[in-house]
């Protein structure tokens, strides 16, 4: 099941890290929710294959350690989501459809 494309309106912001919003459900380490507003990554779907990090021409992502998460113990954190140029490369290469991109 892919990322919820309506998470920005259907889910509550429950936390924030480095200025990046985190949307529910958030109950670490097992549930990490969706991180980011312009570039959203469903941390519960992300398997950390790195395809989005390699595909992004403007370095939106960096690795974030998430020890204890069942899908993977690191995630592609959209730390530089403001730099996104909306090329959709990350969305197109994500093998589990964990990324959603929408202009602000």
3-state secondary structure the chain: CCCCCCHHHHCCEEEEECCEEEECCCECCCECCEECCCEEEECCCCCCCCHHHHHCCCCCCEEEECCCCCCCCEEEECCCHHHCCCCCHHHHHCCCCCEEECCC
Annotated binding residues for [3Fe-4S] cluster: 46, 52, 94
- What is the overall mean pLDDT for the chain? 97
- Is 49 among the domain residues? yes
Biggest distance spanned by C-alpha atoms of the chain: 32
- Is 2 among the domain residues? no
Q: Is the model's pLDDT at 2 over the cut of 90? A: yes
Q: Is the model's pLDDT at 76 over the cut of 90? A: yes
Annotated binding residues for [4Fe-4S] cluster: 56, 84, 87, 90
pLDDT computed for residue 82 by the predictor: 97
pLDDT digits (tens, 9 = 90+) for 30-69: 999 999 999 999 999 999 999 999 999 999 999 999 999 9
Annotated binding residues: 46, 52, 56, 84, 87, 90, 94
Q: Is the model's pLDDT at 6 over the cut of 90? A: yes
Would the pTM count as exceeding 0.85? yes
- Is 1 among the domain residues? no
CATH number at residue 48: 3.30.70.20
How much is the average pLDDT of 2-10? 97
Distance CA 94, CA 91 (A): 6
Domain that includes residue 58, residue range: 7-101
pLDDT computed for residue 104 by the predictor: 85
- Number of separate domains in the chain: 1
Percent of the chain with pLDDT over 90: 98
């Amino acid at each position: 099941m892919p990322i919820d494309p309506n998470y920005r309106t259907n889910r509550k912001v429950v936390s924030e890290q480095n200025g990046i919003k985190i949307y529910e459900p958030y109950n670490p380490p097992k549930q990490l929710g969706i991180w980011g507003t312009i570039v959203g990554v469903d941390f519960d779907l992300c398997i950390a294959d790195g395809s989005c990090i390699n595909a992004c021409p403007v370095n939106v992502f960096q690795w974030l350690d998430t020890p204890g998460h069942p899908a993977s113990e690191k995630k592609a954190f959209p730390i530089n989501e403001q730099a996104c140029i909306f090329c959709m490369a990350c969305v197109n290469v994500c093998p589990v459809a964990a990324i959603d991109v929408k202009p602000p």
